[in-house]
Structures are given as structure tokens and as C-alpha cells.
């Protein structure tokens, strides 16, 4: 937008910083505590780096690394010491923060969760990843839906995690609930680079929404994450593209008021509106039925592909995980969290 990536912030702007955090190795509780402290130090760095920054975003796996370790000793709780430390860092630096945790689940595998904390240390958004990157990831599928929250300077924020962004329905749900900025945190590695870029762009354009997306960066000696933070305008054009440098903070000023303006005034390609008002030139208000078989089947819990019986990978055994025996439990209300 304007202002040299937030250096000259406009009155209606929201300045975000995407942290291409160095990929860590976290094996023990001591490692977890050290990485928690490192993230808190990066919150302070972000504040020093750009006093106009409203929200600093950390990638998926920034706390736990890419080992896929489900050891209960290093899993977090939403009211645990790690989250409390993030709350304190946001409060002390007067900045909003978006963080990633692997969340202990007493009823099964851990959740891959994301949180947004405001500049007073209050938890504003709590999300559990709906689409783990199967068959590689062992995480329990999320059961909190896709929440949105009021963000800095009157913005409305949504958060999705990594593989979530490969499903166009995720960004559509964020926009449908009113989000003007969709954050996507990730731990992706280089083979996903092209898919990462085109989905971030398509998600923005198809929903008239800003996308702000960032991966882990660097190597842990086994995996190489790609960094490549990127901001995409609501017309699908990239605004800022990150590098491959670990710990670099990519910044941009976004204008939610321009999203609101476009959603009201665009005629052609106002896709988020036109999706539910097909052919409004021909019929009053447009057709508002659901012509999509897959949507009807999902609602009826009868989703089935024509090639369903031919799919090879339907559990995590190819990646060393035991085949699951538990069925999915539906949505639940978020746990109440007090200020840290």
C-alpha cells in the first residue's frame, strides 16, 4: 500500500510484521523454555525494529520445530507458561502478536493451534488447525471452526495454518465471517514454494481479502524451511515478498478500509458476493441456492469421491504413525482464558 512498508503509517493503516524465524530443535522442556524466551525476545525486536508495527506474526512450528514430536512433556496448554509468556511480551511491548503452539489434548493427539494476543495481553483469537498436512502430521483435526476477531485499528482478522490455505473454502469462510486480513502461518519447505505463492494470491483475489503469510526459515540440520513471507493485496497482486534469510521481519502496511470499499463498490469480480447471488442481472437478487454436490454431501456427512476406493494413502502409516482407531469429535467451545 503506502508508507514504505509501514515506516510512514497512514491513519487507517495496519502494519504487520512477518517473522521468518530460524527453525529450532526442541526436544526437552528446557529446549521449549529457551525457545519461548527467544520468541519473546523477537517480539521485542519487532517493536524496536518498527515502532509503527501493530501486529507481529510468528510462523507455525516456531515454538516446537518440525520434528512432529507429540511428547506430552513439551506440549503446551492454552493457559500454560508459554502462552502466558507471549501475553506478557505483547503487553510489555504494546504490540499484538500471533503465535503457534502444539496443544496438549487429553483425549487424543495434540492440536496444532494458533493464537492472537492483543497489546494488553488479552487472548483475542484461538484456532485449531482444521487440515493437518496428512499423512506427515499427527495432529488432531481442529474442532473450533474458523474464528475471526477484531484487530488493531478497527481491522477484522482471521488465522489459518499452513495446509489450511490449500483449501479455497478456508479463505472463503474467513471472508464470509468478515475478515479483511487473513494470516497464514506455515512451516513449509521448498517443494511447496509455487503452491504457496499461487494459493496466497488466489485466496486474496477470490475473496477480496489481504493475505499475510509466513513460513519458518533456515535449517534444523534435517529440514529446510523456506521463509518467504508474503503480503498479497486484495486484488491478488503481491505487495511484499520475503527472502530466505532466517529471522528477517517482512513488513507491510495494509488498509482494511480499502477492502471494505472494494467489497461494497466492485461490480465485476466481486466474487465473495457473487458466489451467493449467481446471475443477478437475469434474476432478482441472483440465484441463492446451493448447486454444489460436494457441499451438500459434506453437510450430510456423505462426502465421497468417484475414485474414493482407489486412494492409496488414507492414514499415517506411510510416515510411521499407527493407524487411528478413534472417531472425530465435533466442534466445541473455546476454553476460557484469563489475562496472563
Distance CA 140, CA 82 (A): 20
Strand-pair category, 55-57 with 96-103:
parallel
Cα of 275 vs its chain's centroid, Å: 24
Distance CA 249, CA 97 (A): 13
Decide: 230 and 240 in contact? Cβ < 8 Å: yes
Q: Mind telling me the catalytic residues?
A: 60, 129, 162
Helices 29-49 and 81-93 cross at an angle (nearest 10°) of 10
Q: Which residues contact 297 (CB under 8 A, 6 or more apart)?
A: 303, 304
CA distance to 134, 143, 175, per residue, from 98 (Å): 24, 19, 19
Distance CA 212, CA 259 (A): 14
Amino acid at each position: 500500500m503506502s508508507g514504505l512498508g509501514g515506516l510512514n503509517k497512514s491513519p487507517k493503516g495496519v502494519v504487520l510484521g512477518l517473522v521468518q524465524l530460524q527453525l529450532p530443535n526442541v526436544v526437552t522442556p528446557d529446549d521449549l523454555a529457551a525457545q519461548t524466551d527467544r520468541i519473546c525476545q523477537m517480539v521485542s525486536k519487532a517493536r524496536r525494529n518498527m515502532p509503527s508495527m501493530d501486529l507481529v506474526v510468528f510462523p507455525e512450528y516456531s515454538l516446537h520445530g518440525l520434528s512432529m514430536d507429540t511428547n506430552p512433556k513439551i506440549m503446551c496448554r492454552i493457559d500454560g507458561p508459554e502462552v502466558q509468556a507471549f501475553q506478557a511480551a505483547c503487553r510489555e511491548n504494546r504490540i499484538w502478536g500471533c503465535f503457534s503452539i502444539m496443544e496438549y489434548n487429553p483425549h487424543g493427539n495434540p492440536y496444532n493451534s494458533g493464537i492472537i494476543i492483543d497489546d494488553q495481553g488479552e487472548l483475542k483469537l484461538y484456532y485449531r488447525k482444521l487440515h493437518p498436512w496428512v499423512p506427515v502430521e499427527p495432529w488432531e483435526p481442529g474442532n473450533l471452526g474458523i474464528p475471526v476477531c477484531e484487530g488493531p485499528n478497527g481491522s477484522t482478522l482471521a488465522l489459518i495454518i499452513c495446509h489450511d490455505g490449500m483449501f479455497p473454502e478456508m479463505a472463503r469462510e474467513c471472508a464470509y465471517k468478515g475478515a479483511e486480513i487473513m494470516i497464514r502461518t506455515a512451516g513449509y519447505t521448498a517443494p511447496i514454494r509455487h503452491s504457496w505463492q499461487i494459493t496466497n494470491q488466489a485466496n486474496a483475489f477470490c475473496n477480496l481479502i489481504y493475505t499475510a503469510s509466513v513460513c519458518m526459515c533456515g535449517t534444523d540440520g534435517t529440514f529446510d524451511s523456506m521463509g518467504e513471507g508474503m503480503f498479497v493485496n486484495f486484488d491478488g497482486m503481491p505487495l511484499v515478498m520475503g527472502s530466505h534469510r532466517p529471522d528477517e521481519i517482512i513488513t507491510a502496511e495494509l488498509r482494511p478500509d480499502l477492502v471494505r470499499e472494494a467489497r461494497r463498490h466492485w461490480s465485476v469480480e466481486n466474487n465473495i458476493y457473487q458466489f451467493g447471488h449467481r446471475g443477478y442481472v437475469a434474476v432478482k437478487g441472483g440465484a441463492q441456492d446451493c448447486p454444489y454436490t460436494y457441499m451438500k454431501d459434506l453437510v450430510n456427512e456423505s462426502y465421497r469421491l468417484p475414485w474414493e476406493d482407489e486412494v492409496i494413502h488414507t492414514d499415517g502409516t506411510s510416515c510411521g504413525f499407527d493407524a487411528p482407531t478413534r472417531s472425530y469429535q465435533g466442534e466445541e467451545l473455546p476454553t476460557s482464558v484469563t489475562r496472563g
